[in-house]
A and B are shown apart, each in its own frame.
Chain A
Amino acid sequence: MNLVFDIAWTHVRNRARQTLVAVAGVATGVGFSIMMASLMQGSQDDFIRQLVNALPNITVSDEQRSPPPQPAEAAFAAAELHGLTPEAKRRGIKNPLAMIAALEGWVPGGIAPSVKTQVIIRYAARDISTSVIGIDPGREARVSDLPKQMRAGTLTALYRATNAIILGDKLADKIGARVGANLTLSSSEGTTLTAQVVGIFHSGVRPIDEATAYVLVKTGQILAQQTGLVNELHVRLADPMASREVASRIERDVGYKTVSWQEAHEDLLSTFVIRNVIMYTVVGAILLVASFGTYNIISTITHEKARDIAIMKSLGLSERTVRAIFVVEAAIIGVVGGLFGFLLGYLLCVALGAIEFRSPFMDTNHLPMVYSPLHYLIALLVALASSLTAGYAPARKAARAHPVEIIRGAT
């Protein structure tokens, strides 16, 4: 109702200083909660991004979820079998190129093969056990950040020597190898060959940098003695969040165990739920404190305006109308405070995002901030709800006041 708003607006306007304090309270609450949400969401997104980028979105491995049936089961229709060892089968995904070609028909993203084997690297009388991964440089660029992580040389340099190898920077430091050095690789399968270092990479993840090296798929297959087979297919999707669905479809298509990053990191993702609960509790507490300011001013106005309330009621304004006046006042404070809070929150986010960190442990040197309208909406709604709750109690009390008692007291 227009009249209600007019009176409410006049009340808050005539108490500019008090109103400003209450508005500032709400604005601070909204501003800081937006900042908190932006920072928490930002760091969470950043963490997930690192997680998603450190590993393929989806890994198709040369395993099955359930062990293959024993031939005896098929032959005898037996209910139970004792004393059998599983059939010895060569590990590895057969005919990977055909499979990649089939998957590329519908998977929205890049696919790359990889061959993994354990190798002892010998160089300058040092032996280091290392994972050697065979990759296809052209395809690898589509599924990992490895090309961006190169500190020396490029991925395509792998084609330059007969047996070329790219080392993690910590591994290279450990054995003292530089680009151009010739290493001896001895695989667990018994193959020994000489490889030339053509590049150094730095992923930022210490265990990887310390004990990983990349070679061509072909070299990897020789080391693992599995010509024509690969161990894993790596998939990176345009939308990593769709990994779960795509993974289950790939598994149905190809029959190999296919794991999405969400499945691989279920434990980590569940900690985010706890983090968010903590965040929203803190944000809620901030806004709750802000609502005390609103309670305070509405309470004060109803006290100061006791006489006016009595007059309005004696004129014939109903209890509901009088109550509405003060609830609207609380709403005005909530909305105005919320809007100023938007500005404050945005500025805080910008300021925090501009701070530079120089840390040897972190590759990012800015706080990751996320600007999401949802944070603003939630903060405004919570601020409005707490303001209305805070305003309702004194409004109800004021509206119930008996006009005669106040008028009698005045005369």
Chain B
Amino acid sequence: MTASAAVETASRREGAVGPVPLIEARHLTRILPGVVPTTLVHDVDLKIWPHEFVAITGPSGSGKSSLLYLLGLLDLPTAGEVLVGGQPTSGMSEAQLAVIRLATLGFVFQFHFLLPEFTVLENVVLPMRALGALSQKAMTERGLAVLGSLGLEDHVHKRPDQLSGGQRQRVAVARALANEPAIILADEPTGSLDSKSTEQVFTVLQELVEVRGKTVVAVTHDLDLAQRMHRQVQLVDGHVVADADIPSRGKK
């Protein structure tokens, strides 16, 4: 199935929500400058619709992480542009991009990347404090609620190094959810976990989409997991070579 066909399918599926994709990439290209410039992402068009559970797969060095960073406004494209909620981001200042990341995007990385000096709860509350929209009390309540919903209520006052790998990664998911973003971007979220923890974290991501109505875009090289998501975008050498809904799951 081609990319445009996938968009049509997605539009039909999300007909009630409206025709604006959450994130849209237009002719997205990222070239790493250097003596020998390296092309990481080449002319990618991609639309992410609400409530999708998208896997970005591909061999090592195919540019899947780079694409995710571009979609998440962490990196700036060499050419092309990214639209968030239909809004072009190419002319925005660093501070404006930071606010969009803070309010509408949540990141989960391969490593938990929690701040080691702060407790689990403090780590989760940090993005809320940065956004500054809630009172101290409301932030603590929401932090506890999010951690509770991920089964971490017993660990809120521990330091990250007192938790297991799977628990830490779930805290990272909780932190990504802190400001109730519409989209969670995950870069190899289970890449450094054992199979049991992988299953736990995957279940959490799955529930985000199916229970909470979030959109999750996850980069993974684990094809088993990719098969269990709703849509699979395959990259090779920075090009999208396949973009397909997975029939058994996607039509749910």
Contacts and interface: CB of A to CB of B under 8 A. Distances in A.
Contacts of A319: 94-95, 98
B127 A315 contact: yes
Given A3-B130, A404-B74, A411-B65, A318 B98 contact: yes
B175 interface: yes
Contacts of B120: none
B102 A316 contact: yes
B94 A317 contact: no
B189 to A, nearest CB: 12
B126 A316 contact: no
A313 interface: yes
Assign chain A's interface to a size class: 20 to 34
Nearest to A318: B98
A64 interface: no
A11 B175 CA distance: 20
Contacts of B95: 318-320
Interface string B98-121: 111111010101110111111000
Contact of B69 (A311, A318, A404): A404
A10 B117 contact: yes
Contacts of B245: none
Contacts, number: 74
B107, B127, B130, B187 pick with most chain A CB within 10 angstroms: B130
A315 B102 contact: yes
A308 B116 CA distance: 9
A204 B95 CA distance: 72
A307 interface: yes
A317 B103 CA distance: 11
B126 A3 contact: yes
Contact of B129 (A2, A11, A311): A2
B161 interface: no
A380 B231 CA distance: 62
Given A3-B126, A14-B117, A316 B65 contact: no
Given A320-B95, A404-B69, A404-B75, A315 B107 contact: yes
A88 to B, nearest CB: 89
Given A404-B69, A407-B109, A411-B110, A316 B115 contact: no
Given A411-B65, A411-B109, A411-B187, A308 B129 contact: no
B65 A307 contact: no
B111 A410 contact: yes
Contacts of A192: none
B52 interface: no
B102 to A, nearest CB: 3
A321 interface: yes
B243 interface: no
Given A11-B117, A321-B130, A316 B111 contact: no
A3 B115 CA distance: 13
A316 B109 contact: no
A362 B50 CA distance: 90
Contact of B94 (A3, A318, A410): A318
Interface string B172-211: 0001000000000001100100000000000000000000
B65 A408 contact: yes
A315 B101 contact: yes
B118 A10 contact: yes
B246 to A, nearest CB: 26
A156 interface: no
Interface string A1-21: 111000100110010000000
Interface string B26-67: 000000000000000000000000000000000000000100
A403 interface: yes
Contacts of A296: none
A248 interface: no
Interface string B68-107: 0100101100000000000000000011001111110101
A129 interface: no
Given A10-B118, A411-B188, 13 more contacts: A311-B113, A311-B114, A311-B115, A312-B115, A315-B175, A316-B98, A316-B100, A316-B102, A316-B130, A316-B131, A407-B109, A407-B187, A411-B187
16 contacts: A10-B118, A11-B117, A14-B117, A315-B101, A315-B127, A316-B98, A316-B103, A316-B105, A316-B130, A317-B102, A317-B130, A318-B95, A320-B95, A407-B69, A410-B113, A411-B111
- When A and B form their complex, which 3 residue pairs have the shortest distance between CB atoms, in order from nearest? A316-B102, A316-B101, A318-B98
Interface of A: 1-3, 7, 10-11, 14, 307-308, 311-321, 402-404, 407-408, 410-411
